[in-house]
Amino acid sequence: MVCEDVKRVLERLDEIEIMLNTVLEELRELKKSAPGARQPQKSSFIDMLREKKFVQLSEIKSRQALRQALERGLVLVLRDEGTNREYVVLKEAARELLEKLPISVSDAEKLGGREYELLQILNRLGYVLLKGGQYIKTELAEEFYI
């Protein structure tokens, strides 16, 4: 139990460091912009992923924040050949979804929009299978627990 608590604290510290680096990068960008010009406030990278669960790689503006999150094992980049898209998935969000499995098709359709979309992506990529009217996780899904 203590080891899990320490692991959670270390993960949270990594997330905070990424958030701080993102804020610093955004401040530098604001300083470069014309004085008096207002830009909409941006949220931090990890907070944005917590809210959205996953985003397309092309939507990410801060490559440094992505690189740091990858190095710390907080996110995975998944390539969906079927849709020809790359997604950045927050491991925490994927684990929360995987913990709900097995789940029936009718219950899966009741999930939130983004959560259901993530389930479909994971299904296309083989992390989740539809078997006997239920979504079940495969051994590949262990990648989200590393």
How many domains does the structure of the chain reveal?
1
Around Cβ 18, how many Cβ atoms within 10 Å?
A: 25
Mean pLDDT along residues 30-36: 62
Bond from prior residue into 40 cis (ω within 30 degrees of 0):
no
Task: List Cα–Cα distances, 118 to 12, 99, 113, in angstroms.
Answer: 23, 13, 9
Of 78, 85, 86, give the one whose Cα is nearest residue 141: 78
pTM > 0.75 = no
Around Cβ 137, how many Cβ atoms within 10 Å?
A: 19
Which residues constitute the domain of residue 67? Answer: 2-145
pLDDT of residue 92: 95
Most confident of 10-14, 64-68, 75-79: 75-79
Contact 77, 70 (CB under 8 A): yes
pLDDT of residue 19: 82
Round to the nearest angstrom and report the end-to-end CA distance of the chain: 17
**Residue 136 phi, psi dihedral angles, 5° rounding:** -130, 150
pLDDT of residue 49: 93
Span 68-80, pLDDT tens digits: 999 999 999 999 9
Q: Is 86 helix (H, G, I), strand (E, B) or coil?
A: strand
Strand 103-104, strand 134-137: pairing: antiparallel
